[in-house]
Structure 1
């Protein structure tokens, strides 16, 4: 009996030790796997009083004064720490303004130089680089991955440049991974090369045969940047700097953890009049499709140049904005072209119904972006804010601003 009791005691003790050991291992592991969720419930602070804030610029002409007033109203509706807008027309910057905080904690006000994450608006920027290579004959729409990317696996090797740029390749989007945290969207690993970035999805099966369907995926543009490197014989960032940003005189940058950009905003989540900085991520695996930093004036300069054929010939510009047809002849469901969506404004939008727009929005952690071009009016508008949200929420405001400056024609 005594031996039996002692044996049970030892067994129970060992069981407790094993349970405690498992908890010691599993609890930290679970925290790191699901860290974005684990930290989301803490660290919220009260937003500062907006009543003390004013737009940075006060314009004098009547249309711009109306724009300043509208801008103030939009800022108050958005509940963003900072909101920045620029408008270009006939290849000139005609109006811009900014309001709010670049850095709440340090009471730093945003300026016209403040840079925001532009998320998937990066794809429109990258399309300009593609246009340069098309124009120089170093790439064409039917160029295949295996011509420029020797490390791409067999499934990816026959995909064309056009299929990547129009999201008809079949490459998957973000998923889960054996990484910390478990979601690829929250990646915080620094990738030294585009080849390392491609390795994330290089061995995965395609969702469908290339060209037969549409599935939006930023990884298309990661592989596209590898094609750009092969065609240009330069690293992607260097090519964009030398061939696009320097000629246009813009200060767009690829986001880097080391040597962060000057005038870089902090990025926030907003909820119930409270704010907190977003989970720290690293966008080095998706510069071409979601990793650029810019101000609205930078993006409007790009839009102006695109509409006015400053860098790209007219026929190249038109080729980049033609919605891509699938192999069955049908246009893809998002009217997606080469880094741009090409749409007609719905009839219910008073004053703009039936107007063509070329556009791309972007959603990044702690930032929301919209770049929208109105070819009929030779006008570009960029809106950026340093809070998480949906770019679809910005269209109404873009239209309201556009109508002011269209009336000036």
Structure 2
């Protein structure tokens, strides 16, 4: 529950902190919270006896940890800086791409052949677990990608404050909180894979519904779009997690949990980076397309510009040259606004296609019913 709801509630709290203090405090506040959480874990959390006994004498796989850190760390930097550095036209990005491949390939070979690897990859031989990793990664790309797009649209194009943009996500968190217990009650009676399949179809449909975006969309309608996207989350996270761990041997639970969490977190980071980059790319493409209709040689464009200039001159008393310049500025602003909204619609459509493509994979899970699902790993 916390893993799903926290990313939705976070923007609201972060927005309030940003509006009232500074965006830096969003990060600084995590320091005391992290320290207190660590102390609480040390004092309150205990391993079961069988695990305490097994932990004695274990060696640390420094090589495996280092290779994973290099691979995933360089991947994250590459994704975050790629758009600003013009992707592979930049030596910086190419260098980090090579380090990413070297780190991940090296980590894979090391984990496969090391005597005591930091993570045992043999759990991926389990069909349900492997499919669970793929589906949770797909879900994370869409969840985090769409979650960052809506507040970004609200602030950059609609002029919302950081807190108001965060509040667009809050009703979705309430829906998820109410929905997850209901889905857990359904799991003993409905094959869990069918719930996951329905969840992906519902998520795809909600993303397609985002085509109703318009430049002057109001708060209630933006709320409907985001709430519709949140509605599918309850049918995905708990059922996917349940299916993924259903047939994993107990001795591999820790390794499976580490891999599952890694797939979810890395895919979420990829979703955020790619969604942001795609918005810029699609906005440029849409501007290039729309600009073909904004030529002085176009009769419609010329008529619209002159009509707007005449209206401005008659209402404000501006001289014709100044009115024409003002009308041109307004028309350009409309042009940018339309292109940007179309870019958001395009990216939501891409995420919907991603969900549709993943949907058939959900039917490959073992056809079992579950007695309920774990809250998260």
TM-score when normalising by structure 1: 0.25
Please report the TM-score for the alignment, with normalisation by the length of structure 2.
0.26
Return the structure number with greater helix share: 2
Asked which structure has the greater RCO (Cα within 8 Å, sep 6+), the reply is 2
